[in-house]
Amino acid sequence: MNLSIKQLITFCEVMRSGSISQAARTLNRTQPAISTLINTLESDVGFNLFLREHGKLIPTPEAQYFLEEAEAVLQRLDRTKQTLNRVRSLESGKLRVACYPAASTVFVPRFLTNFLTAKPDIELTLVMRDSTTIADLIASQQFDVGLAETPPLPRASVQQQAFDLACVCVMAKDHPLANHDLITPALLDNCPMATLFPEHHIANALETAFLQSGHRLNKRIELRTFLPGLPLVEAGFCVMICDMVTAYSHVLLGPHSDQVIIKRFMPSIRSSISLLLPAYMPQALLTQSFSKGLLGAIERMRGEMSSFVEASTIQPTLDAEIQQFETTPGAK
């Protein structure tokens, strides 16, 4: 048995209208075409659906039972079409995002706030993990998108797009060095600093910069991530040479961020972050749109922070990211 959707639609309409002629008018088809479809359907199911008496169609009990099944199939098909339309228009689907700590508190959630607007049927999973774990999650296809510090070694199972970002110096607005446009180890000689744990590459680079310049690095506070150091910087307890994402996230928090200023630091210390995608798994349209938008948000952040002006003068506009980097379905 090989029933077609056209047969089911025709049968349901004949049952509703009670006649071949009315069904033909409703479906915009000829009466012979409707009669042929009904005859073929009866042949396919193996029993009569209608009795023909004096030019009228009388549904059989089997037709009444079959009507329930046919309508259920057509309703399910209609729901499927609606779902596919939502998927096509990026209004529905599942998105699994893994994010490293610096971007997980403000930067990515702020972008998601815009991205998810008018998309009520998207199911989102957002987790914070360390960068190594994120690479594992992407490689094993447990997550669709990862934002992490760039892995030291590339993996064949992970597609990555890296961004080389300059670290910046953050200090309290009333810090004695606040009037300097460029901060150097000489200016920070023996100044209380908040640094990352010794194994982190930023901490190593900072240590090297001070050592090579012959100045003292006063590591007053050691952190696992820079985020907890921002309130300490604002209170004047320390200065930080931190990654750009952390500094920009502080700017995005709003009016109170003007109590911390951002300065350029030399010699330049670089921090690379990467957008990670499973290399061997086709990307859903939703994933493609999210990834492209997030890449755009990173580029915009880099552009806004490139001037290294005080945080109070930076006007972050992540709200424009979706429009500026909006993708069409299927865009790579």
Same domain for 259 and 194: yes
* Within-domain flag for 246: yes
Same domain for 279 and 159: yes
Q: What is the pLDDT of residue 70?
A: 92
Last residue of a domain, one of 52, 68, 88: 88
Q: What is the pLDDT of residue 320?
A: 43
Q: Where are the alpha helices (DSSP H) in 151-228?
A: 201-213
Same domain for 225 and 77: no
Q: What is the pLDDT of residue 24?
A: 92
CB within 8 Å of 116: residues ≥ 6 apart? 122, 124
Integer CA distances (angstroms), 271 to 138, 149, 200, in order = 21, 8, 11
Same domain for 294 and 154: yes
Same domain for 98 and 79: no
* Within-domain flag for 248: yes
Last residue of a domain, one of 271, 293, 318: 271
Model pTM?
0.70
Q: What is the pLDDT of residue 85?
A: 66
Q: What is the pLDDT of residue 255?
A: 61
Same domain for 142 and 125: yes
* Within-domain flag for 323: no
Dig out the tokens for 179 from the structure: 């009037």
Neighbours of 47 (CB within 10 A): 10
* Within-domain flag for 60: yes
* Within-domain flag for 315: no
Same domain for 267 and 171: yes
* Within-domain flag for 327: no
Name the domain count of the chain: 3
Last residue of a domain, one of 253, 271, 289: 271
Measure the CA–CA gap between 281 and 279, rounded to whole angstroms: 6
Same domain for 178 and 149: no
Same domain for 254 and 219: yes
CB within 8 Å of 291: residues ≥ 6 apart? 145, 275, 277, 283
The H or E element spanning position 291 is helix 285-305
* Within-domain flag for 23: yes
Could you tell me which of 125, 52, 135 has the C-alpha nearest to residue 93?
A: 125
Domain containing 124 — which CATH number? 3.40.190.10
Integer CA distances (angstroms), 117 to 37, 92, 149, 261, 307, in order = 46, 12, 28, 32, 31
Show the domain range for 77.
5-88
Per-residue pLDDT of the chain (332 residues; tens, 9 = 90+): 788 999 999 999 999 998 899 999 999 999 999 999 999 998 989 899 999 887 788 999 999 999 999 999 999 988 887 777 666 656 678 899 999 999 999 999 999 999 998 788 889 999 999 999 999 999 999 999 999 999 989 899 999 999 999 999 999 999 999 999 899 999 999 999 999 999 999 999 999 999 999 999 999 999 999 999 999 999 999 999 999 999 998 888 866 667 888 999 999 999 999 999 999 998 888 999 999 999 999 999 988 887 644 433 444 444 444 444 344 344 43
Same domain for 278 and 159: yes
Q: What is the pLDDT of residue 90?
A: 62
Same domain for 288 and 156: yes
* Within-domain flag for 105: yes
Dig out the tokens for 136 from the structure: 């594992």
Same domain for 149 and 68: no
